[in-house]
Each structure stands twice: as structure tokens, then as C-alpha cells.
Structure 1
Amino acid sequence: MTEQQHHSLISRLESRLHENAAHHPQPQQAASPKPTEPRHERNVADLMVQCLVQEGVEVIFGIPGEENIPFIEALERDGRIRFVVTRHEQGAGFMALTYAHLTGKPGVCLATLGPGALNLTLPVACANASNTPLVALCAQGSVRRLHKESHQIIDLVSVFRPITRWTNMILSPEAVTETMRKGFALAQRKRPAATCIILPEDIAEQPAPADAEPLSRALQVHTVPTPADIDAAADIIAKAKHPIILAGNGVSRAHADYQLRILSEQLNLPVATTFEGKGVFSDRHDNALGVVGFMRHDYENFAFDDADLIIAIGFSIQQFDPVKINPKNDKKIIHINTFVEDTDAHYTTTLNIMADIDATLTQLIDALRERDVRFDDMESDIRRLLTDEFTSRKDDDSFPMKPQRVVYDTRRALGDSDVALVDTGALKMWMARLYPTYLPNTCIIDNSLSTMGWTLPGAVGASLARHGRPVLAVMGDGSFMMNMQEIETAVRLGCHIVILVWVDRAYGLIKWKMDLHAGHHDDVDFGNPDFVKLAESFGATGTLIQAANELGPAIEAAMTADGGVHVIACPVDYSENMKLTDKLGELELPG
């Protein structure tokens, strides 16, 4: 067809359309609508997303896969939940875990089947161990091939069941709303935990039941202690000679830090916290003893040696082995928490109060005030020893830097409400013991599963939970390299995080323990990349500390910068490790 013939044909078609319009005029209100996409029939994946919205979910961390494409498409159609693409499923899980820790709401992470789901097991187990509410969503292959050996098929229910409170696979559209509600309800029980919901690909694409709607969230009912429990606790405390309070992370979950302080002040009782409980009792307070949890007999253990009663509040034995504070099992213990503690030969409780912690402390304070119970001042050098050690190297300009100087400069560079996430390794021992903490959830440490590599992705989750306020992740060089790919995620999201890497070119804590065990170490040393170039390759800012006086200003500048991801590599002299354990092994407090 020539160009002239083509134009002639178009003219004839246009004339015919005009003629038809003249003979069959259309009412004005029926003007031709704009072209629209075909109407989408709601499927199971859409219904799941509706359930997530009903549960208050605002963000999901994860990686798309072939089998969860229907779910990703449903998220995009709905548009009310933000999906954060991560660089590894493990990173997604730690982001969700830390987001949950800071918000109190269940974190949600997503993986596809097989390898993707297996990569989620570590953060899921970590959430379960640390009593953090988390819901993992995993895809699965079609139901028709689950009964046989098939590509990427793993029995995910069997995999996740031992590391969650509850795991279930959705096998019919009718089960969606009940399964989703149950998954979130069990994650938020009185002992928060992880749950896992598995969705086969073919079920995801099936039509949702026409009448199916998300189930309403149940109101959280807080159990109050009985008058008999309060009277019994008050009697035990009044008859004690040297009581001491041990506070765990349950205090922060219950927002009971104020009542904890009132109880301590009213009775004039010393308070020690677990690593995970740091901040629930301000280290500025005269009654603060610091933390228990170090691998040797530390300063605060002397206060437990003299105690005849331990008032354990928000404590669970996964946070700390009770044998170190009750080696002879000769102390009375009052256990105050929302759940019954597991059995331990050195944690045989005299009284268990399973109720809301804040309500329990409020009523206990009133009961003890009526009895006019108060204890004499504690004669102890513990606070002085802690302060002396914290400041012992503040003017030490030796390089690589002493751990005490690193902790001191880090604390001075951060405000009271700034959040520091502390990874596992030798640095955890120094930060947990010496880093003064003044508010709950401002120094977060995993001492339940004690996972390496969680703080870098955790800082991304914390940044979103804190709406962009700066977050510090403190890591060893071993843990940093385990999840450093999430720097790209942080840069892409526009997070403001500072990553302080303690550099010693070894798995420092294992080296320390080998030296304690056998006097030498093996197979713990490694090399490192150029941390500055590595950071810059991701679009982050990299800094290498080359003198002791550079660290404090570098952290402060990064925390107060106008956003961005900052990696600060600081060489550390861990010869102080053995000096510390030698000193504590010989330490005796004056009587």
C-alpha cells in the first residue's frame, strides 16, 4: 500500500465513524470512559495483604522470588504497606527483628521457598529466643508437588517449627484469615515470639472467598496480680536482710522502668540489669550496679554474693545463666514477669508472679510503703570500680586504641536518647560492661542467641522505626563482613546510620576464650578489605581512624551529619582482654 492509499483509507474510516455517530447519537452522560485495566479478581494473596493491613503492618522486609510473585503483586496493588527489598534474607529478618524491638509491634519479613526461606531461619530463631514479636512469611511450591522430591522443595513447616512459637502452611483459601490472625496473636502473647506462615504458590493465586474479611485484632488484656501474690511478695521482701533487684528486658517491653526506679528508691535497693536490660535503670542512679552477664566474676557479682533475696523483674534465663549469681542455690527468688520461667537448678523461685509487670510493681510499691520497708545503704565499691574503669583510658593516646577509650569516646559522642546496637564479639563484653546507658532501648544487645552480624541490617530497621533519626551500629570486623551487603540497602533507603567497626583482624571473643582455656589460640585470624574503599563503593562515607584523638570527633560528625551512611573503621588493641580477666580473677572487694 502506497502512502497515498494509506491516507485515503484512514480518511474513509474517519468519515464512516462520523456518519455512524450522526445516525446513532450517544447521551452525554455515557461518554466513552478512559481505557482501564481489566478488573482484577481478589485472590488469596490479596486477602493476605488485607489481613496484614488489618494487623497494623506498615513495612515488610524481604526478597522477591518466583513463588511469591503473586504476593508481591498484591502488595503493589494495595499500596498501603511499604516493601523494602534487601540484599539477603538474613538481613531482612534482622531488620524486622530490630524494627519490632523498638516499636513493640511485630516485625514482618518475607522470603521465597527453599534457599530463601532457609536464609530466614537465623533471625527468626533470634527473635524467638529474645522474646521479640516477629512474623515470617515464606512462599512454597505448588501443593501438587509437595509430596515428592521436587525443585527447591523443603519441608518448611518442619524446619521452622522448632524455632518459632507456631508455624503453619495455608492449604486452602478459607484458612487465610484465621491463619493470619493466629500468627500475629501468638507472636504478641505475654511472652512475645516468632511465628511463620507459609503460602504455596498455587494457593496464593486462587480466588479468595467472596465473603472473607480480615479478622479484627483482639484487645490486649493485661493480667493484674492477685492481692495474695502482692502480700506474699511484700512479706518475703520485708523479712530479707540484703535484697537485690535483677532487671531484664521484660521491663522495657512493659514500659515499667519508672516503677522500677520508684521501687528501688523507696526500698533503697541496688539494681543490676542483664545485657539485654541495659537502660531500664539509669546508670546515673546511685543504686545502679551495671550489668551481669560477663564470662567471669565481675564487680556486680559481689553484690549478689551478699544477697539473700533476688527480686528478678522481667528476667529470663536465656539472657544470663543464673549459676553466676546463685551458685549455691541458697537465695530466695521472687520472679516477676508475664510468663513462667523455664526450669534451672540455680533459679528455683520462692514466688512467681505472672502478671503485667508495671501493674505488679505499682501494687508492690504501695504494699511496701504501708509496711514502711526500707533497707540500709549498701556499703560497696562497685559503682566506683565501674566508673574508674570507664574513665581509666580516657586520656590514653596509644594506638591501636584501648577498648576502654573506644567505649568512652563512643559514649561522649552520643546523646542520652541515641540508639546504639551492639554486635556479638569481644566488643560486646566491653560495651555491655562499660557503656553507661540512661534510657530503655538505647543500647540494644542480643545476649539470648548472641548472633553475629545482626547490627548492620538491624540499624536499617532501627532507622525506619525511628523515622530517620541516626542509629549507631557497633561491630567487630568479623561480624561486619557477615552482612555488609546491606550497606547498599541503607544507602538506597536514605537511612542515617553510623557503623563503627572495631578492627583486630580476628574473631576476638573466641581468641580471648581460647587464651583463657589453653593459653594460646588457633584458626581465628583473617584479613580485611580496605574499609574506606568498600564503604565508598556502596555510596557510603568511609573513615579510617589513624590516631586515638580522631575517633570521638569522627563519631560525633557522622551522627550529626545531614543523613547518610557512615563506616568508621577503628583499630583496637585487644591485649586488654586478658588483663581484664586476670584482674577480675584476683579481685576482692574490701569487706
Structure 2
Amino acid sequence: MKASDLVVKALEAEGVEYIFGLPGEENADVVMSLIGSKIKFVLCRHEQAAAFMADAYGRLTGKAGVCLGTLGPGATNLVTGVADANMDRAPLVAIIGQADTKRLHKESHQAMDAIAMYRPITKWAQTVSHPRNVPEVIRKAFKLAEVEKPGATIIELPEDLMKDDTSAKVMEVRKTRRPAADHKAVRMAADLIAKAKSPMILAGNGALRKRAAKQLRRLARKTGIPVINTFMGKGAVPRADPHCLFTIGLQAKDWANHAIDQADVVIAIGYDLVEYSPAAWNKTAGKKIVHIDFTGAEVDDAYPIAVEIVADIADALWQLNEELNRRFAPKRQLPLNKISRWSKLRAKILDDFAAEKDDKSFPMKPQRILWDVREVMGPGDILLSDVGAHKMWISRYYQCDEPNTCLISNGFCSMGFALPGSIGAKLAHPDKRVLSINGDAGFLMNFQDIETAARLKLNIVAMVWCDNEYGLIKWKQQNQFSGRHFDLAFTNPDFELLAKAFGVWGKTLKKPGDLKPALEQAFRQPGPAIIAVPVDYAENRKLTKRLGELQVQI
């Protein structure tokens, strides 16, 4: 068959449901081969947005999201979304066009070495050099994208090769089994946990994948050990669970940091150092760290490992749970620790979260906004946070009941992620409410794809926090330069009129009591909706000051 037809057959064999992207001359054969395929092509308005859609889709489903661009500027536009998926451990396969192989050796229109550009930001990048290689290249790209730790891979398809005929056959897709935990390492971890005076679990991004959260919750309840999660580990333990000590990562003197300072043993489960540097939480001497992850620990002098279990996380935790059962269940010594020790701290944190829930001021305080949002969103509904000052507030105040219900880019931290990401999330889970929270700066970076959502009649809701500044940069500059900051102000459109121009529902809030009704109305729309919320970011420095003065007795 024609090579481009074989590409589509191979993608179908991989279970691909959607391809997000833009057509061009050099990928035209592949796009035309999609006609009649069961794969749905989602025509986007910008390649970066297409990559973010594939990023969120991959993270939520565990199957590689697929995005498509052409050569030159199409390939460069994909870069940010591809890098974001790779560093945030979302499986993604990007397919790009390339010029005719007969002109790649010389200076030629739009031709560039895209593979060299992508190698530093992907797990694997490869051009198809012959039509018969198509099945192997596609199978390898998906295998590497989805195997732990997941990330991004790139396939480059030269224009002329896609027109050629080939007799190559699609390869069978086989599941890759992950290795089991080493028995000696499991016993050593159990020894440390049994002897610990004040153990703590730190749950990272990997704790939400491959059924790991279920076994993590068993471990917490079996041992009586509290769990702190990173920004990307939200939902590893439900917010109502007495073992949940919420989120670490906002500032070095928050509640969770004081709690982890007390730990003599930290069990780091699925923790990626890109999420939150160990130098920010391992500040007290004598901690013993148990590293449980799909891959070996990064070398960092603030992350010294006492025991390292490199294996499938769910299997490692299951073995650890069974080892603790064998040792202590017959003597009725489980749980090993009293979780009630942490109940007063949990109560203080919950009081902190609720302190501004009835605040009547306007523009609205971030704390009040997120209290109302949490009340409207169900346990399985999905919130996506863009990058900006609002991300810091979401990370602290928006707590979760289930894994993968709050998507935060905290590895690559790219602005412009949330709105297009919400399209990928809604296609992955059409039965769930999907809300993106954006700053007014990041929102306009990929706003054009609100048209994509409208065309697909997807009810995604985009909330925009309006302060007319680059708020997070201002916050950081004020903290670093004694309250001073660079000129970071800009003007905004009327977001309600902007929504109307795209034929979608929009509302600009005038008072705090309007937020919950507006959200409910937005989620009833047949397509996307936009809610603009004026926000009081004077709260940023107030929070910095309050956390700097926080006194915690445990």
C-alpha cells in the first residue's frame, strides 16, 4: 500500500483515537490517508495548542496523545507543547512533515534539521528513511512514549517517501511488563519504616500512574503514615482522608514543610525532582529517604538515598504492604503509627483553607474563588491550571479526592497549557466537567483554539483571573527586590465580548456571589464558556508574609 496509508494503519493498531494538528503541504499525504479512518482528526488553530491537547489527553488516558505538524514553522510551533509533555511525564507522539529527501542535503525552502532540534526535549526522535521502516518506527515511538517514565517521541515523515508504495506490514502491539521490586530492597524499606519515629510519605507525579495510588493508600492506612503530595501528586490520597497532609511546593515555610522537617524517614513515591527540588524540603539533618519509583533516583546531594526500590510502583508498594502484613498483622501491631498525632495539624490547615470562604470583597480573593470552585466541581471532575500566580493558589488551596483531577504543569511550567489542554481532557473524559483556570496573560497565548472547542461543541469552561499584569513575575520580583518590580502591566479585552465574537457564552463577574451561579450556567452550555474574574493579587505578598511568620508545633 501507499506509505502514508501504512502510517494510518499503524496508528490505528496503536489504538489512536484522535490526532490533534494542522495540515500542510509536506504532511498532505498522511492527512489524506486519514479520510475514512476511524481516527478523528482534530483541526487546531495553532500547533502549540495541538501539542498541549495531546499532552493532557496522554496524561489522563495513559495512551500516547498524538499531534501533527508540518515542517519548518509547523515543527517549531510544536516544540513547547512537546517539551511540556516530556518533562511532565505525559505520553505523546508528535508526527512532523519534512521536505523531499532529494533536497535535504542543501539550502532549501523551509528545510531544517528538526530531529536535531527535538532530541534534547524528547525520549526519542527519528526520521523515516525508507517506507518499509514505517511500522518499526511507529511501534518504537509509541512504546517509548508510553513506557515508564512516559514522555514525548517524534516521528519525521519526508514528503516523497509518503507517496511511495510498500509491502511492509503493521506490527503487533504488545504490552511491556514493568519489572517487579527487588525483595531485599523491600525488606530494607520495611526495616526503616518499622524503626521510624516520625515517618512521612511524599507522593509525586508517578504515584498517580499505573494503579499506584490504590497501593499507596493501603500503605498509608496500614502504617499510620501521613502523606504529603507535590503539585502533580494531588489526589494520591483523598483530601478527607486523615492521612492527607495536603500539598508541598508553594513556599519553604508552609505547613507541609514544617511537617516534613519533623520526619526521620521520608518515603518518596513517584517523586520527580523537576516537580520540587529536594533542597527545598530536606533541610534538617538525619533524614533517611526511601526512593520508590519506576526509575532510579536522580543524583542530588539534597536527596541521599537510604533504600532504592526501582520497579513498578504499584507492585513495589504491594510487596511492601505484604511484608508489613507478614511481620506485624499476626501480632496486631498495625497500624504502626497513630495518625491521630497529625489531626491537630490537619485541622489547622483546613481552617486556613476555609478562612476566606465567605469573604465579600471585590475584586475577589484567590482563596474565595477556589473555595467556590471546589464546591461546584465534583470529585471526578477535572481542573487544569495554567501557569501564573493562580497556579500557586490552586496548588495550595485546591485539594482533590481522586488522582488526575487537577492537572498542573510543574515540570516544564509552560504558560498557555490549560485552555488547549482542557480540549484534550474533555475528549478523554466527555462525561466529566472540565474547567481551566488561566491568568489573563497565559489565556491569550492560546486563546485562538476556543474556536476549536466551539466547532467541536465541547463544553469546556475557561476561567480567567484578571489583574492586568504578569502577576507571578511581579510576586517573585517583589519578594526578591524588597517590594520593587519591573513594569509588568498590560491591557485586556472585554472577555465577555470576546467570547461573543467567537459565538460562545461569556460572563464577567461583578460581585463574588455571582461565581458559583456563573459556573453552573457555564457547565450547562452546549459549547465552551468563558468566565472572567477580577482577582485581588494584593493577597500574594500577604501570603508570603504570613507563611514567613508561620509557627507550627507538632
Quote the residue 2:221 is aligned against: 265
Equivalent residue letter for 1:67: E
Aligned mate of 1:81, from 39, 55, 72: 39
Q: Deviations over 1:173-207 (max 9, x none)?
A: 12111111111111112211110000110111111
The 2-side partners of 1:572 and 1:379 are apart by: 33
**Alpha carbons 2:252, 2:281 under 8 Å: kept:** no
Helix, strand or coil: the match of 2:232? coil
Deviation at 1:400, TM superposition (A): 0.3
Which ranges in structure 2 are unaligned for 5 or more consecutive residues?
Answer: 329-333
The within-5 A match list for 1:519-534 is 519-534=483-498
Deviation at 1:435, TM superposition (A): 1.0
Aligned mate of 2:391, from 406, 414, 428: 428
Quote the residue 1:342 is aligned against: 298
Deviation at 1:503, TM superposition (A): 0.6
The 2-side partners of 1:389 and 1:498 are apart by: 28
Is the radius of gyration larger for structure 1 or structure 2? 1
Q: Does 1:253 align with 2:209?
A: yes
TM-score of the superposed pair, with normalisation by structure 1: 0.91
**Alpha carbons 1:289, 1:383 under 8 Å: kept:** yes
Quote the residue 1:470 is aligned against: 433
Moved more, 545-554 or 222-231: 222-231
TM-score of the superposed pair, with normalisation by structure 2: 0.97
Equivalent residue letter for 2:312: D
Quote the residue 1:93 is aligned against: 51
Equivalent residue letter for 1:261: R
Q: Deviations over 1:329-363 (max 9, x none)?
A: 63111111111122111111111111111111111
Quote the residue 2:331 is aligned against: none
Quote the residue 1:216 is aligned against: 172
**Alpha carbons 2:21, 2:50 under 8 Å: kept:** yes
Quote the residue 1:122 is aligned against: 80
Equivalent residue letter for 2:508: L
Helix, strand or coil: the match of 2:290? strand
Deviation at 1:240, TM superposition (A): 1.4
The 1-side partners of 2:437 and 2:81 are apart by: 18
**Alpha carbons 2:261, 2:284 under 8 Å: kept:** no
Deviation at 1:266, TM superposition (A): 1.2
Aligned mate of 1:553, from 517, 523, 535: 517
**Alpha carbons 2:242, 2:343 under 8 Å: kept:** no
Quote the residue 1:509 is aligned against: 472
Q: Does 1:63 align with 2:22?
A: yes
**Alpha carbons 1:389, 1:404 under 8 Å: kept:** no
Which ranges in structure 1 are unaligned for 5 or more consecutive residues?
Answer: 1-41
Helix, strand or coil: the match of 1:432? helix
Quote the residue 2:337 is aligned against: 375
Q: Does 1:48 align with 2:7?
A: yes
Helix, strand or coil: the match of 1:185? helix
The within-5 A match list for 1:369-448 is 369-372=325-328, 374-376=336-338, 377-379=340-342, 381-448=344-411
Equivalent residue letter for 1:393: E
Helix, strand or coil: the match of 2:246? strand
The within-5 A match list for 1:99-248 is 99-208=57-166, 210=167, 212-248=168-204
**Alpha carbons 1:62, 1:85 under 8 Å: kept:** yes
The 1-side partners of 2:127 and 2:174 are apart by: 22
Equivalent residue letter for 1:53: E
The 1:329/1:142 distance shift into structure 2, 3 A limit, reads: farther
Aligned mate of 2:500, from 532, 536, 550: 536
Deviation at 1:271, TM superposition (A): 0.3
Deviation at 1:468, TM superposition (A): 5.2
The 2-side partners of 1:590 and 1:312 are apart by: 24
Equivalent residue letter for 2:64: P
Helix, strand or coil: the match of 1:319? coil
The 2-side partners of 1:155 and 1:496 are apart by: 39
Aligned mate of 1:315, from 271, 281, 289: 271
The 2-side partners of 1:470 and 1:418 are apart by: 5
The 1-side partners of 2:275 and 2:438 are apart by: 20
**Alpha carbons 2:180, 2:311 under 8 Å: kept:** yes
The 1-side partners of 2:348 and 2:47 are apart by: 43
Moved more, 464-473 or 233-242: 464-473
The within-5 A match list for 1:289-304 is 289-304=245-260
Q: Percent identity?
A: 45
Deviation at 1:296, TM superposition (A): 3.3
Deviation at 1:249, TM superposition (A): 1.7
Aligned mate of 2:31, from 72, 79, 84: 72
Q: Deviations over 1:467-522 (max 9, x none)?
A: 35331001111110100001000000010111111110111111100110111111
**Alpha carbons 2:61, 2:428 under 8 Å: kept:** yes
Deviation at 1:286, TM superposition (A): 0.9
Deviation at 1:297, TM superposition (A): 1.6
Q: Deviations over 1:223-282 (max 9, x none)?
A: 211221221111111121111000112121122222211111111111000100101111
Quote the residue 1:330 is aligned against: 286
Quote the residue 1:582 is aligned against: 545
Equivalent residue letter for 1:225: A
The 1:441/1:104 distance shift into structure 2, 3 A limit, reads: same
**Alpha carbons 2:266, 2:287 under 8 Å: kept:** yes
Aligned mate of 2:313, from 354, 357, 362: 357
The 2-side partners of 1:356 and 1:469 are apart by: 29
The 1-side partners of 2:260 and 2:433 are apart by: 37
**Alpha carbons 2:461, 2:528 under 8 Å: kept:** yes
Helix, strand or coil: the match of 2:233? coil
Deviation at 1:328, TM superposition (A): 4.7
Deviation at 1:370, TM superposition (A): 2.6
Moved more, 476-485 or 185-194: 185-194
Helix, strand or coil: the match of 1:440? coil
Q: CA RMSD in A?
A: 1.3
Helix, strand or coil: the match of 2:156? strand
The 2-side partners of 1:90 and 1:266 are apart by: 44
Helix, strand or coil: the match of 1:498? strand
Which stretches of structure 1, 4 residues or more, deviate above 2 A after TM superposition?
327-330, 369-373, 376-382, 467-470
Q: Deviations over 1:135-158 (max 9, x none)?
A: 000000111111111111111011
Q: Deviations over 1:411-459 (max 9, x none)?
A: 1111111111111111111111111211111111111011111110011
The 2-side partners of 1:115 and 1:523 are apart by: 31
The 1-side partners of 2:43 and 2:342 are apart by: 55
Helix, strand or coil: the match of 1:350? strand
